[in-house]
Structure 1
């Protein structure tokens, strides 16, 4: 680690439970962020600022004027630009030490499996159940932990899944495959809400990658922002779940599996 990196990350390195060892774990980690909108914006910015070595930025959409109220990765002059490209510009300016990779297409089952086999953690920052279930299945199949967030109106939620057989997994939480779904375009949302939920997602990701604290595995946090009240709900495994009930051994333990070689940094 260079003197410049030690200075850049000095405030988190000062934490006794984090230290240089935690920073090195972040430095060698590779993370997939699915969705670069209201949730993905604070997630990507905090993970880049914290020094996660490789970030895969996945979003098939382009920046729209209606996004700018809450999607703080993007700017007015980038309307019409693919969100992945816009995110890369912002994050490269924020921390040029982070290696940035973009995926500008919808994530199919096969695409997710190809991406997830090479990452240490996934952030579910999307806005639809179909993608969330696909991420859940791929992460569980490959033994990769992931952190999931959602927000609508004045309500938000966040949780984490270990990706290990025996669950719980996202399908245990929503066994009906998301038959009822709301979108911000239909219901509206206040901008700071996604900032709160996305920031918690980023914090959980850092905790898992660095191996500190107690992640939200098996615990769902619910926020009623109108009253600023939090509730915590236990998430239990469904023994009949078609995704996580398979008794296969885990693919790998939580956290980074191996150091990643340096590649050319995105600018």
Structure 2
């Protein structure tokens, strides 16, 4: 079947026509994340005929994903999300060129990846990665299509579009905390709606039609079908050049570790778990070899720490712990790791471990009796 026949219904639109379809064919879009938002974005970009799509995701498919990540099938559990998403796109529209990148976005690969695409799409639920995407977009002068979900409420905006406001203009506090879908819960259709709104912004930018959500954020509530649009201005902050990006993200590389792996070393001599949250923050974490020094006091109280210790730093979600780890490295601490996901991830692991231990104890009691 020819491309013209495939895209006939949108070519009929006077705002698109054959010239618009050619723009789509020539466009290149990079989607960061192929979870709930990505599962809604990717099929519509492919079906519309976007010429080249890149998918960045280092995650594997879990059974709990299927409730909202509807492009995956049950028999794909345990497989790479990026590779399965690529297979879906190829089945849907073999005319689209697809590249799956099964690795985590980082300061090391963001610039080189972003350079190859016209539009960068944030389909993640990780606050630290959103700031990374924003900063890499500024360094490479690419627009960022933003989406986020909290329970029944979603947000959509476009940052850095034609030198417009950025993510940092709207959310300047990099140390803010936000729960992801796993912690807060989410209904699959909510993610789908927000993802499709993101796809709509992408297609409008490529085609040069309509009004792009630049300097505006759309907030949509799926429970009552209410939506609002809020304006925000570009703030006066120092431009993020490539040099500034490299300085921020790669000068002092902090190694991240999952809490499961760190927990295996809890009895290791010389291991210390450093909580850099404020004392009033929840959830409370209580584990062996733990000390709490809020980030704002860390430099003043750094003498409380032993440079020979293996230190695992955690905060609420994994952002401040990286800042703390960098600070310790500058003070010549050698063995520092930041716990990915922070206390929110640690809480889930500890809850599962406690539940498992309780079941084991009960089984042991029954066998003894």
1:206 aligns with 203
Query: Aligned pair in 2 of structure 1 residues 11, 178: CA closer, same or farther (>3 Å)?
Result: farther
Query: Aligned pair in 2 of structure 1 residues 218, 108: CA closer, same or farther (>3 Å)?
Result: same
The Cα offsets for residues 165-199 of structure 1, whole Å up to 9 and x where unpaired, read as: 4x410011110015211111111101100110000
1:247 aligns with none
SS of the aligned residue for 1:57 comes to strand
CA drift of 1:109 comes to 1.7
Q: Distance in 2 between matches of 1:31 and 1:155?
A: 26
TM-score (normalizing by structure 1): 0.87
Name the one with the larger helix percent.
Answer: 2
Q: Does 1:99 align with 2:102?
A: no
Query: Aligned pair in 2 of structure 1 residues 168, 231: CA closer, same or farther (>3 Å)?
Result: same
CA drift of 1:138 comes to 0.9
Q: Distance in 2 between matches of 1:159 and 1:201?
A: 8
Aligned positions of 1:5-154 closer than 5 A: 5-154=3-152
Q: Distance in 1 between matches of 2:53 and 2:131?
A: 21
The Cα offsets for residues 127-182 of structure 1, whole Å up to 9 and x where unpaired, read as: 111111111111111111121000121110000123454x4100111100152111
The structure number with the bigger radius of gyration is 2
The Cα offsets for residues 229-258 of structure 1, whole Å up to 9 and x where unpaired, read as: 0010102111135549xxxxxxxxxxxxxx
Q: Contact 2:15–2:209 (CA<8 Å) still a contact in 1?
A: yes
Q: Contact 1:140–1:163 (CA<8 Å) still a contact in 2?
A: no
Q: Distance in 2 between matches of 1:57 and 1:33?
A: 5
Aligned positions of 1:210-229 closer than 5 A: 210-229=207-226
1:160 aligns with 158
Query: Aligned pair in 2 of structure 1 residues 178, 71: CA closer, same or farther (>3 Å)?
Result: farther
- Work out the number of aligned pairs and report it: 241
Instruction: Could you tell me which runs of 5 or more consecutive residues in structure 2 were left unpaired when the two chains were aligned.
Output: 242-369
2:350 aligns with none
2:300 aligns with none
TM-score (normalizing by structure 2): 0.64
Q: Distance in 2 between matches of 1:136 and 1:33?
A: 13
Query: Aligned pair in 2 of structure 1 residues 233, 241: CA closer, same or farther (>3 Å)?
Result: farther
Taking CA–CA contacts closer than 8 Å with sequence separation of 6 or more, which of the two structures ends up with the larger relative contact order?
1
CA drift of 1:211 comes to 1.1
Aligned with 1:231 (options 222, 228, 237): 228
2:185 aligns with 188
Q: Distance in 2 between matches of 1:160 and 1:66?
A: 29
SS of the aligned residue for 1:196 comes to helix
Query: Aligned pair in 2 of structure 1 residues 178, 220: CA closer, same or farther (>3 Å)?
Result: farther
Q: CA-atom RMSD, angstroms?
A: 1.4
Q: Distance in 2 between matches of 1:240 and 1:155?
A: 29
Instruction: Give the ranges of 4+ consecutive aligned residues of structure 1 lying more than 6 Å apart after TM superposition.
Output: none
Instruction: Could you tell me which runs of 5 or more consecutive residues in structure 1 were left unpaired when the two chains were aligned.
Output: 245-267
CA drift of 1:118 comes to 1.3
